[in-house]
Chains A and B, each alone.
Chain A
């Protein structure tokens, strides 16, 4: 069963007087439970595609259906609701809230979902334990290493048990050892909790871990290997 369906997806940016076709007619289906990587050179449209799938940006043409919802039919508030409840994001630059501790960063999502304080605390601590951050609950992002921050970001992405996690170059700022640890962690989440992961990446290690690899070039799908079905 598909969790993501992209049909004829186009995205054109205006850069000065020039139109840049970041995506030029992408058709893509992602099945539930996939562990998929989008690869390709810089400017191939990986991040743009991830942004469109996550409802962070609007397509110039075509449509994205995520977990049964046609994103182009949703309002800003509905998109926010969808991102909150069904999508987890992991960004290249970690993007944690600097004034909150690791635990509070993870709890923040649950707070937005109006979960009771006790449940929030328990779930946040449990997921931080799962990503190997026992005892670091009270540290603020500035007091954590890059790898630890990215683990917090992963914990935040999966704590609410979303249908899909979108990770934009999650290992780009990490050394290979830390990056591998993080991939192992996400793979474990994928296998244990059946969370769908889509990565955009340049990293060969990520591509190796991915069960399915989609290659983008010039805004189009140029190739693919290892379908999960």
Chain B
């Protein structure tokens, strides 16, 4: 009957109850929705980072990450290939690359770029480049002087398909190496910076140019699930001869900015939850207090009939509990439905694309709901909601029957 009594009590003033419920619903909805939006942004940043040549795991020669020069290349990757074939999940893909800083120039311009030598077939399964070519053709293994450049670089150089581009870099002997390439394809990337930064040539061509023989700069691995990263890293560290010369790094190590942003967003989300709750908390206290003061005489009666003070507290808290429960359930439903609707087509932020680029964010945001965010939003509202209701509940329990019954 406590529940029944509480349920009927909260509907004694339907208008007030509906206003409070609306506040709770909007609060919970905004917690879930904004949380999903922030998770979507950070998730997209991680996806971009992973697709933009990082992969889930990379293997380098120790020292390459601090000084990514051609001297810090893995000279005999053949042994690694055997280990990888046995150590990775069946659905995983991996590829070898040469990656060095270079200068690209044509008749009018020159600019610093990152020269990436790729195994075109394998690379297409690991990074974005396989499906990013919008003009011309993707790299073909036999065509040694073909080069892929980004749309933004092409515009900057005022160049086009079929035109020549010269790359210059230091080779493994420390000498200047240069080679002329013919633009065989132009790619688009999620981030403009990627289009300006990277140029792609065939792996063998890059090796030739840099006198690397069979050497590579890195192996990049794409796993079927991001969550498998740590296990694969640990497994590779055990199986590869990493002790002396090689290092295995996960995307978390390779994308420190993204990792920091994710942590920052965790903090933002929590602060947002608290701000929403503080606003909501005042509403809850105010409404419950009003409901208590309207029923002083009734609380006096309940005490006169033999309700202990702690039962009165329980009664008032049950009313808060029911209000919170209904508000939270509705808030969750609205939150999840609105996220699901927006997640179908994403939110197009192209208008702010330039600003978003600086933060490494995508033009399209797809909200992502994490169970932990939904649980946390509800726990924050529920626990703090019940806590703030303690004040009016204790107040109700403290009325003396004689004083309370004397009120009109």
Binding site for B on A (CB under 8 A): 51, 54, 56-57, 76-77, 80-85, 87, 89, 91, 95, 97-100, 104, 107-109, 111-112, 156
Q: Which parts of B280-309 form the interface with A (CB within 8 Å)?
A: 297-298, 301-309
Tell me how far the C-beta of A113 lies from the nearest C-beta in chain B, rounded to whole angstroms: 8
Q: Is the CB of B298 within 8 A of A97?
A: yes
Q: In the complex, what distance in Å separates the CA atom of A153 from the CA atom of B308? A: 20
Of the 9-residue stretches B20-28, B93-101, B188-196, B397-405, which lies at the interface with chain A?
Answer: B397-405
Q: Are B402 and A56 in contact (CB under 8 A)?
A: yes
User: Could you give 23 example pairs across A and B, Cβ below 8 Å?
Assistant: A56-B401, A56-B405, A57-B402, A76-B308, A76-B309, A80-B306, A84-B306, A85-B306, A87-B306, A91-B301, A95-B301, A97-B298, A97-B301, A99-B5, A99-B12, A100-B5, A100-B8, A108-B1, A109-B306, A111-B1, A112-B305, A112-B307, A156-B305
| Complex interface: chain A residues within 8 A of B178 (CB) | none
Cα distance, A90 to B339, chains bound together (Å): 56
Which of B297, B305, B310, B402 is A83 in contact with, Cβ under 8 Å?
B305
**CB neighbours of B197 from chain A (8 A):** none
Known: A80-B306, A84-B305, A112-B307. A99 touches B402 (CB 8 A): no
Whether, in the assembled complex, B311 has its beta carbon less than 8 Å from a beta carbon of chain A, the answer is yes
CA distance A109 to B305 in the complex (A): 7
Asked whether B402 lies within 8 Å of A81 as measured between CB atoms, the reply is no
Q: Does B106 contact A (CB under 8 A)?
A: no
Query: Residue A77 contacts which of B1, B4, B297, B308 (CB distance < 8 angstroms)?
Result: B308
Q: B305 near A89 (CB under 8 angstroms)?
A: yes
Asked if A83 and B298 make an inter-chain contact with CB atoms under 8 angstroms apart, the answer reads no
- Contacting residues, chain A, for B298 (C-beta < 8 A): 97-98
Least CB separation from B302: chain A residue: A97
Which B residue sits closest to A120, measured CB to CB? B1
Task: List B residues 7-23 near A (Cβ within 8 Å).
Answer: 8-9, 12
Shortest Cβ gap from A138 to chain B (Å): 14
CB-contact partner of A91 in B8, B307, B310, B405, under 8 A: B405
Contact A80 B405 (CB under 8 A): no
Chain A, interface SS category: helix
- In the assembled complex, which residues on chain A have CB atoms less than 8 Å from the CB atom of B310? 77
Chain B residues touching A, range: 20 to 34
Distance from A156 Cβ to chain B, minimum over Cβ atoms (Å): 8
Per-position contact with A for B304-341: 1 when CB-CB < 8 Å, else 0? 11111111000000000000000000000000000000
User: A97 vs B315: C-alpha distance in the bound complex, in angstroms?
Assistant: 13
Alpha-carbon separation in the docked complex, A109 to B310 (Å): 16
A99 touches B305 (CB 8 A): no
Decide: B308 and A81 in contact? CB cutoff 8 A: yes
Which residues of the partner chain A approach B306 to less than 8 Å between Cβ atoms?
A: 80-85, 87, 109, 112
State whether A80 touches B8 (Cβ < 8 A).
no
Q: How far, in whole Å, are A133 and B310 apart by their CA atoms in the complex?
A: 33
* Per-residue interface assignment for chain B, residues 344 to 362, with 1 indicating a CB less than 8 Å from any chain A CB and 0 otherwise: 0000000000000000000
Tell me which of A97, A104, A112 contacts B311 (CB under 8 A): A112
Query: For residue B5, which residues in chain A have a CB less than 8 angstroms away from its CB?
Result: 97, 99-100, 108
Q: Known contacts A56-B401, A56-B402: does B1 contact A80 (CB below 8 Å)?
A: no
CB contacts (< 8 Å) of B405 on chain A: these are 56, 91, 95
A49 to chain B minimum Cβ distance, whole angstroms, is 12
A33 to B398, CA, bound (A): 34
- Residues of A close to B1: CB separation below 8 A: 100, 104, 107-108, 111
Point out the residues of chain B lying under 8 angstroms from A95, CB to CB.
Answer: 297, 301, 405
Closest residue on chain A to residue B8 by CB atoms? A99
With CB as the reference atom, state the residue of chain A lying closest to B308.
A80
- Closest chain-A Cβ to B323's Cβ sits at a distance in Å of 15
C-alpha gap A139/B405 in the complex (Å):
24
B298, B303, B304, B401 — most chain A CB neighbours (10 Å): B304
State the CA gap A100–B5 with chains docked (Å): 7
> Bound complex: CA of A20 vs CA of B1, how far in Å?
41
* Interchain CA distance A173-B273 in the complex, whole Å: 53
- Interface-central residue, A56, A81, A82, by most chain B CB under 10 Å: A56
